[in-house]
C-alpha cells in the first residue's frame, strides 16, 4: 500500500525518563538525548522520518516524571498501542506510561497551560547511595526552610527574571508568569516546586542555588529580592546540581491523560532512621 494513502493521526505520549545519562531532552548531534532516542525508534517503526514535539526541554542530567510529547503517525496502529510498542524497544531509562490520540491541532508545547518542576535536597549528614541519583546532598550547613520559602513566594506573578537565565537562551524576553511556588521539609528532605507558563533557560537550578545561599544565611532575603528585581545576573553564580531536578508535570486545559497517570508521579523519599 502506498504510504500516502494510509490514515494520518496525532498521537500524544506520556514519558518518564532518568536524565542521568542523557544530554537533555532536545536532539543534539553526537550526544544521547531523550528526544533523539524516541524519534529514532518512531522513525524505525514508521519507516520514515518522524519528529517528536515535547512540552518542554530539560537540561543534561535532569529527570522527568510526566513529560508530554506528540508526533504525527501514519498507518493503522491504534494510538493507545504505541506505548507498549515503544517500551519493548526503548532503553531502560525511558518509559512511556501511556499513549493516546489527540486532535490534529493539539500541540504538546503550545497547548500547555503550565509546567511544574520539583527540586529535591537531601540534608542528612551521611550520603545514601540509593537516593544519590535524584537529590542534591547538601549537608554543609543547616538550611532555614522558612527563610527560603519567604523569599521564593514573591516570585509568584508576572516578573522579569533575567537574573535567573543562563547564557545562551534564544528567548526574546525574560518575562515569566510564575503561577505557584512551594518549599517545605519532610524529614531530611527539602522539596522546592515551581509552576509557570514557561521557564527561562536554566532558571530553576539558578533559583535553587541562590535559595540555598539564603537558607544557610550566606545571603540575606533582601539581597535575594534585590538581585532579581534589579536583574543583577552577575550576582547569580551558583547553579544547583542537575540530578536534584525533575520535570514534574505539564498541564493542559483538557489534559489528554487521566490525572492518576501524570499529576504527581515522582515518588517522595521516606527514610526510617
Q: Which of 267, 265, 263, 266 is nearest to 250 (CA)?
A: 263
CA–CA dist 128, 105 (Å, integer) = 46
- Residue 19: phi and psi, rounded to 5, are -80, -5
CA–CA dist 115, 32 (Å, integer) = 24
Q: Which of 59, 72, 93, 160 is catalytic?
A: 59
- Residue 242: phi and psi, rounded to 5, are -65, -35
CB 92: neighbour CB atoms within 10 A? 6
Reading the block at residue 101, the C-alpha cell is 490520540
Active-site annotation holds for 59: yes
Reading the block at residue 263, the C-alpha cell is 499529576
Q: What are the beta bridge partners of residue 72?
A: 10
CA–CA dist 9, 21 (Å, integer) = 32
The catalytic residue positions are: 59
Amino acid at each position: 500500500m502506498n504510504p500516502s494513502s494510509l490514515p494520518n493521526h496525532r498521537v500524544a505520549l506520556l514519558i518518564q525518563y532518568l536524565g542521568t545519562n542523557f544530554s537533555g531532552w532536545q536532539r543534539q548531534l553526537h550526544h544521547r538525548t531523550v528526544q533523539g532516542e524516541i524519534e529514532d525508534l518512531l522513525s524505525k517503526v514508521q519507516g520514515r522520518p518522524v519528529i517528536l514535539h515535547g512540552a518542554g526541554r530539560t537540561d543534561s542530567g535532569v529527570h522527568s516524571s510526566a513529560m508530554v510529547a506528540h508526533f504525527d503517525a501514519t498507518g493503522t496502529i491504534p494510538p493507545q498501542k504505541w506505548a507498549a510498542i515503544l517500551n519493548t524497544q526503548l532503553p531502560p531509562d525511558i518509559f512511556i506510561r501511556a499513549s493516546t490520540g489527540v486532535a490534529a491541532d493539539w500541540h504538546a508545547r503550545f497547548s500547555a497551560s503550565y509546567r511544574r518542576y520539583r527540586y529535591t535536597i537531601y540534608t542528612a549528614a551521611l550520603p545514601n547511595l540509593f537516593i544519590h541519583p535524584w537529590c542534591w546532598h547538601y549537608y554543609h550547613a543547616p538550611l532555614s526552610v522558612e527563610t527560603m520559602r519567604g523569599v521564593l513566594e514573591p516570585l509568584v506573578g508576572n516578573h522579569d527574571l533575567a537574573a535567573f537565565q543562563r547564557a545562551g537562551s534564544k528567548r526574546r524576553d525574560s518575562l515569566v508568569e510564575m503561577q505557584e511556588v512551594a518549599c517545605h521539609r519532610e524529614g531530611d528532605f527539602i522539596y522546592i516546586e515551581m509552576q509557570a507558563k514557561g521557564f527561562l533557560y536554566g532558571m530553576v537550578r539558578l533559583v535553587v542555588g541562590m535559595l540555598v545561599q539564603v537558607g544557610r544565611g550566606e545571603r540575606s532575603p533582601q539581597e535575594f529580592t534585590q538581585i532579581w528585581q534589579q536583574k543583577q545576573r552577575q550576582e547569580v553564580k551558583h547553579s544547583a546540581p542537575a540530578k536534584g531536578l525533575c520535570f514534574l508535570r505539564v498541564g493542559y486545559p483538557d489534559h489528554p491523560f487521566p490525572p492518576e497517570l501524570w499529576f504527581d508521579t515522582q515518588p517522595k523519599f521516606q527514610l526510617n532512621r
